Structure 1
Amino acid sequence: MVQQRIKAVLAEVFQIDPATLAPTASPADIEGWDSFGHLALVEALQTEFRIQFEVEDIARMENLGAIEQILLRRGVEP
């Protein structure tokens, strides 16, 4: 469930098909996931999951799987 929600956010922010996203999807795989895209993604994730990330969390968001683990550690229901 969490991964599907993350995929939906990534798809919206980067205008891509969520079905193409693997757990290893990273900035190298997604056009537009640069520093500005990362900020847009963080904002969209915070809105979707109603949380505030710590700076360390934001720096660790290296791929879809890492984002999922961060959200689960922050108490988001699976």
Structure 2
Amino acid sequence: MTSKLTEILEKLFQLPQDKITDNINQETLEAWDSMLHLILITELEESFNIQIEEDDILTMKTVSDIKNVLKKNSVTDF
């Protein structure tokens, strides 16, 4: 079963599911620019019905960071 987060990342990063790991980051993934980051934030907020703090937006540099922010916002099923 594909997780909601994986589906979002797959769509935005245009990567196959098996290439999406916690270590993907803005430096190693060329497509992850500032515009895509804003789109990612919007997708996460809408999909998980949360409001991501500005400080968290700035610290989200890896998939692992994204998961930590979701946990911080009480999202357990991502």
Under a length normalisation based on structure 2, what TM-score does the superposition of the two structures give? 0.85
Residue identity in the other structure for 1:35: S
Residue identity in the other structure for 1:69: N
Q: Cα deviations across residues 39-58 of structure 1 (Å, max 9, x unaligned)?
A: 01111111111111110110
Residue identity in the other structure for 2:47: E
Partner residue of 1:27? 26
Partner residue of 2:49? 50
RMSD: 1.9
CA contact (8 A) 1:24 1:63 kept: yes
Gaps of 5+ in 2: none
Residue identity in the other structure for 2:39: A
Determine helix, strand or coil for the equivalent of 1:75.
coil
C-alpha distance in structure 2 between counterparts of 1:40 and 1:33, whole Å: 10
CA contact (8 A) 1:60 1:66 kept: yes
Partner residue of 1:40? 39
Using CA pairs below 8 Å that are at least 6 residues apart, which structure has the higher relative contact order? 1
**How many corresponding residue pairs?**
77
Under a length normalisation based on structure 1, what TM-score does the superposition of the two structures give? 0.85
